[in-house]
Amino acid sequence: MAPAAATSAVEQLRSLVAAADGPRLKDFLEKLTTEDRVYTILRLEKADIQRLFVLIAPEYAAELMKEMPEAEMSGLMKAMPVSDAATIIDQMRSDRQADILSGMNREASEAILNKMMSREVKMTRFLLSYPEDTAGGLMGVEYLNYNVHATVRDVLTDLRENGVRYSDYEVQYAYITGDDGTLCGVLKMRDLLFASEDTKIEQLMLKSPVSVSATMPLDELARFFDDYGFLGVPVIDGHGRLVGVIRRTAVKEASAKQANKIFLKLSGIVGGEELRSMPFFTRSGRRLGFLTMNIGLNLISASVVAVFQGTLEKWIALAIFLPIISDMSGCSGNQAVAVSIRELTLGLVKSGEFARVFLKEAAVGVLNGLALGLFLGLVAWVWQGSAMLGAVVGFALATNNLVAVCVGGLLPLVAKSMKLDPALLSGPLLTTITDMFGFFLALGSATMVLNTWPELAK
Amino acid sequence: MAPAAATSAVEQLRSLVAAADGPRLKDFLEKLTTEDRVYTILRLEKADIQRLFVLIAPEYAAELMKEMPEAEMSGLMKAMPVSDAATIIDQMRSDRQADILSGMNREASEAILNKMMSREVKMTRFLLSYPEDTAGGLMGVEYLNYNVHATVRDVLTDLRENGVRYSDYEVQYAYITGDDGTLCGVLKMRDLLFASEDTKIEQLMLKSPVSVSATMPLDELARFFDDYGFLGVPVIDGHGRLVGVIRRTAVKEASAKQANKIFLKLSGIVGGEELRSMPFFTRSGRRLGFLTMNIGLNLISASVVAVFQGTLEKWIALAIFLPIISDMSGCSGNQAVAVSIRELTLGLVKSGEFARVFLKEAAVGVLNGLALGLFLGLVAWVWQGSAMLGAVVGFALATNNLVAVCVGGLLPLVAKSMKLDPALLSGPLLTTITDMFGFFLALGSATMVLNTWPELAK
């Protein structure tokens, strides 16, 4: 859709909402591609978006919601009349319900839960009781479950009778439980194709099935599914009872979401998500939160420059190179931060392995520091005609580059072992430390040089 | 695994490799969790890792390879004796083969292809002919395919006869083609459960099935699977012929990989991947590539400071605040870069929508710029006892913050419409522009102030 066509689609949608014509709205939206649909809806004013979701049938609203960015949906649901929101959420699958409700504050989600259909609420509350990025928070409760004493005939009968209800399920597997609810087997549905109707499920099922604990965190789950080809795996509670099934796609989606959050947090977006369709003050506030922390830290490192003001006054050319030293060290350090965060996510480094990270980074830091320091030193010498300036600036950058990669490599490990968020904190802390060190190295060595050769001062 | 236990596991593994004891190696590795297995293997020296993969049976080697980070595997395969590499790759599924081979240069992958079993090679070459991040590059060729004229009996017979070969397949669906190979239907395997053996597949299949073109790029595929609940979708060539099946998980995995690449590139890791187990010169070189570009750009912006050296000499306190203005504007701009990259990935902004991004960013830029500028101005006034210094510094930061978010928001759109990589280029270009502007605003306005009130100079 070219921008012009896009504008007219937004106009059309707006007038359909104004006309309050539910069926025509649905027709119009269904003709667009997913991408254009999401794009066009999000170009409407907030109030119109709410009206749109109330105008169309709840089933279609639930379907549409699935396509929209999650960060938008929780906000939209919160702003809608509670009973409308509850009707739409009623139409969703349990894991999706939990996803959206966990994006709201407790008060808002309770209000919606109170209006939901009673048979759904218990399940959703149950899912909400698990932290978001664990197997319990990511699992669904729509799966086939049979008793271990059932026969193939029982299963086939149930499938024929409840086929409609199961039509949303992924039915490659059924999960087999004992009388007390403990998981005791997994049945490949296609094995039913080859078995006689009197066969006991117990004989057909795979015994001692692989399962995961409801408390297993996302990164372990991601590695679990990397290891095994399963499309889904049963989730058990502390007593071995089957409580849900976690699908491979739910884990992969959560991993992709986590990777996106990391990159946004590293870029200083608090909360790990911003879209330009979000409310203005949310956007401004989240960004300002990070910037405020950063300006505070910047002032701390600037105080190092202030201490050496006298030196700077005598040797003004240094002021040209201070921002370069600051920026280059920050860049080098950020590379090391990114690699550490990547390795932590993959489980390739453990949060206690300071020595390994230090040695690996130091090696790169020495080589790259020498290369960059030598280059900047030569440039400073030629440009400003002072070999001593080149020596000071080159020495400061080379040394500080080494400091930067070591600090940058270690910070995420330290943050992780202190249970802090490595993605949001590593960057600002890194640049504060490297700025202070860099300014100190450059201005401190310049001071020593000036004390030794006062004639260098202007 | 605590670091101490980890060390001893590495030691044990190393001695098993030295003893060249394949079966015991497998026993040892199988007892570890996936995470510990990958971790322990990657702690060995490169030569030992190669020896390990040759010592164990090729099937197990192929299984292990699946667990290892892809970036490591292409390198390892390249370094192994070609015939060993070919034997291991022969054991993998076609999409995985294409993945690993496409990570090598042409020469290396050709050498391996020439040693592979002939029935595999044709398929793999075929998959390699599609670009990596398209439906063709991500699809697999292991799927059930029946002719439109077959009966349920034919299908069931084939399933019983070839069950072993199909055991790796995901068999919820079979894809139905006409005599000329064009896709004409999709058969839900579970519908076989309810049908009589004489039923024609044509009657049972879903007609006009959804399919994607082999050239569909990753971001469209990701949105496609967000829209539809399918676990897999058939891929067709330009003539409507079935050429493969793309699985939801393959797309989700590729998206997660892409998100990781973006965050690493934004942090200055060329190529979008670095692990500390990679060769030293690869790591150092990729980082240095980015840093070299950056130092060049830094020198350009430093030249603005050099132009105003005279002003700086007269008003040295400015030198304390220049790095703050540079760093803060960089941070603000990076937030806008990240949001644009996120919106481009989600398809929420089109690369021509400069006006929208500009307006959305300008609003945030004005508010946050005023807040930050006011704050820094007050700090400068109180700290250095000069209201005029506060005014200069505050004005420069407030204005430059506005410039930074607008430039930061627009750069990824510009890069994308010029078919450049937004993630790798936006950061360095942004900081160059914001540094030049920031230095110019601060030092230029300081120059004007000094011309008007010369008594302010020391």
| Terminal-residue alpha carbon distance, chain B | 63
Interface contacts (A, B; CB < 8 Å): 309
pLDDT of B165 over the 90 cut: no
B183-188 vs B173-177, strand pairing mode: antiparallel
The answer, for B431 touching chain A at a CB cutoff of 8 Å, is yes
Which positions ≥6 away from B286 have C-beta within 8 Å? B269, B270, B271, B274
pLDDT of A343 over the 80 cut: yes
d(CA B124, CA B118): 10
Percent of chain B beyond pLDDT 70? 95
Q: Which of B7, B30, B33, B35 to mutate to test the interface with A (most CBs of A within 10 A)?
A: B35
CATH number 3.40.50.1820 given to B144-248: no
| Sequence ranges of chain B with CATH classification 1.25.60.10 | 3-134
Which positions ≥6 away from A203 have C-beta within 8 Å? none
Report the residue from B35, B276, B309 with minimal CB separation from A339: B276
Which CATH architecture fits B3-134? Alpha Horseshoe (1.25)
Ranges A339-343, B11-15, B172-176, B273-277: which has the least confidence: B273-277
Using a CB-CB cut-off of 8 Å, the residues of chain B touching A266 are 263, 266-267
The mean per-residue pLDDT over the stretch B110-114 comes to 84
The answer, for B317 touching chain A at a CB cutoff of 8 Å, is yes
DSSP 8-state secondary structure symbol assigned to residue B207: E
Which positions ≥6 away from A349 have C-beta within 8 Å? A340, A343, A356, A357, A413, B276
d(CA A316, CA A323): 13
d(CA A190, CA A292): 59
| Sequence ranges of chain B with CATH classification 1.10.357.20 | 279-456
- Taking the CB of residue A77, how many other CB atoms lie within 10 A of it? 24
* Whole-number pLDDT of residue B266: 83
Q: Which numeric CATH code is attached to A3-133?
A: 1.25.60.10
A264/B266 Cβ within 8 A: no
Distances (CA, A) of A48 to A20, A76, A217, B137, B362: 10, 11, 38, 41, 24
d(CA B279, CA A363): 12
Smallest CA–CA distance from A249 into chain B, residue:
B249
Which CATH architecture fits A279-456? Orthogonal Bundle (1.10)
d(CA B314, CA B311): 5
The mean per-residue pLDDT over the stretch A393-398 comes to 96
| Sequence ranges of chain A with CATH classification 1.25.60.10 | 3-133
A348/B38 Cβ within 8 A: yes
Smallest CA–CA distance from B322 into chain A, residue:
A323
The mean per-residue pLDDT over the stretch A149-172 comes to 79
d(CA A403, CA A410): 11
Nearest to A285 by CA among A296, A295, A274: A274
- Enter the tokens of residue B390: 């506060």
Strand segments, DSSP code E, in A91-241 are: 144-147, 173-177, 183-188, 206-207, 212-213, 232-236
| Average pLDDT value over all residues in chain A | 86
Q: Report the SS3 class of residue B244.
A: strand
d(CA A244, CA A124): 12
The mean per-residue pLDDT over the stretch B88-106 comes to 80
Range A113-126 burial, b when 16+ CB lie within 10 A, else e: bebbeeebbebbbe
Contact A408, A430 (CB under 8 A): yes
* pLDDT category of residue A185 using cuts at 50, 70 and 90: very high
B166 vs B454, more confident: B454
A331/B290 Cβ within 8 A: yes
* Whole-number pLDDT of residue B162: 79
Q: What is the ipTM of this complex?
A: 0.77
The mean per-residue pLDDT over the stretch A95-99 comes to 78
Which positions ≥6 away from B198 have C-beta within 8 Å? B151, B152, B153
d(CA A126, CA A143): 16
- pLDDT tens for each residue of A102-149: 778 788 888 888 888 766 677 777 777 888 888 998 888 888 899 999
d(CA A305, CA A301): 7
Our CA angle for B85, B125, B246, nearest 5°, is 100
Burial class (CB in 10 A: 0-12, 13-18, 19+), A269: buried
d(CA A390, CA A376): 7
Smallest CA–CA distance from A230 into chain B, residue:
B170
Percent of chain A beyond pLDDT 90? 36
- pLDDT tens for each residue of B48-73: 998 998 898 888 888 888 778 877 77
**Confidence (pTM):** 0.77
Contact B205, B185 (CB under 8 A): yes
Contact A403, A294 (CB under 8 A): no
Smallest CA–CA distance from A380 into chain B, residue:
B299
Distances (CA, A) of A266 to A166, A433, B262, B347: 42, 17, 11, 22
Nearest to B419 by CA among B256, B223, B217: B217
Q: CA B347 from chain center: how many Å?
A: 17
* Whole-number pLDDT of residue A65: 84
Which amino acid belongs to residue B442? A
Nearest to B201 by CA among B170, B237, B159: B159
Phi-psi region of B272 (alpha: psi -120 to 50; beta: other; left: phi over 0): left
A206-207 vs A212-213, strand pairing mode: unpaired
- pLDDT tens for each residue of B294-304: 888 989 999 99
Long-range contacts of A412-417 (CB under 8 A, 24+ apart): A412/A337, A412/A340, A412/A341, A412/A344, A413/A340, A413/A344, A413/A349, A413/A351, A413/A352, A413/A353, A413/A354, A413/A357, A416/A344, A416/A351, A417/A351, A417/A352
| Helix B3-18 × helix B46-55 angle, to 10° | 60
B268/A263 Cβ within 8 A: no
* pLDDT category of residue B4 using cuts at 50, 70 and 90: low
Using a CB-CB cut-off of 8 Å, the residues of chain A touching B294 are 327-328, 331
- Enter the tokens of residue A126: 């149950």
- pLDDT tens for each residue of B233-290: 999 998 999 999 998 888 888 887 888 888 888 888 887 888 888 888 888 888 888 8
Q: CA A415 from chain center: how many Å?
A: 17
B337/A364 Cβ within 8 A: no
* Whole-number pLDDT of residue A2: 55
Q: Which of B327, B367, B413, B430 to mutate to test the interface with A (most CBs of A within 10 A)?
A: B327
Contact A87, A58 (CB under 8 A): yes
Burial class (CB in 10 A: 0-12, 13-18, 19+), A352: middle
Which amino acid belongs to residue A240? G
Q: CA B298 from chain center: how many Å?
A: 27
Burial class (CB in 10 A: 0-12, 13-18, 19+), A354: middle
Interface of B with A in 106-135 (CB under 8 A): none
Q: Report the SS3 class of residue A175.
A: strand
Q: Which numeric CATH code is attached to A144-263?
A: 3.10.580.10
What secondary structure does DSSP assign to A330-372, as a single string?
Answer: HHHHHHHHHHHHHHHHHTSS-TT-HHHHHHHHHHHHHHHHHHH
What secondary structure does DSSP assign to A226-277, as a single string?
Answer: HH---SEEEEE-TTSBEEEEEEHHHHHHHHHHHHHHHHHHHTT-GGG---TT
Nearest to B272 by CA among A95, A335, A267: A335
Our CA angle for A240, A243, A245, nearest 5°, is 110
The answer, for A195 touching chain B at a CB cutoff of 8 Å, is no
Q: Which of A36, A210, A219, A267 to mutate to test the interface with B (most CBs of B within 10 A)?
A: A267
CA-based R_g, chain A, Å: 30
CA-based R_g, chain B, Å: 30
DSSP H/E element including B235: strand B232-236
The answer, for A417 touching chain B at a CB cutoff of 8 Å, is no
Which positions ≥6 away from A178 have C-beta within 8 Å? A147, A148, A184
The mean per-residue pLDDT over the stretch B179-204 comes to 87
- pLDDT tens for each residue of A200-240: 999 989 888 889 999 998 888 887 887 777 778 999 998 99
Contact A100, A130 (CB under 8 A): no
B331 vs A423, more confident: B331
Report the residue from B252, B276, B291 with minimal CB separation from A256: B252
Give the max Cα distance, chain B.
Answer: 103
What are the residue ranges of helices labelled H in B56-149? 58-67, 70-79, 82-90, 94-102, 106-115, 118-128, 135-138
A39/B348 Cβ within 8 A: yes
B226/A67 Cβ within 8 A: yes
What are the residue ranges of helices labelled H in B308-317? 309-314
d(CA A205, CA A195): 11
Using a CB-CB cut-off of 8 Å, the residues of chain A touching B314 are none
d(CA A365, CA A376): 16
Smallest CA–CA distance from B256 into chain A, residue:
A256
d(CA A432, CA B58): 50
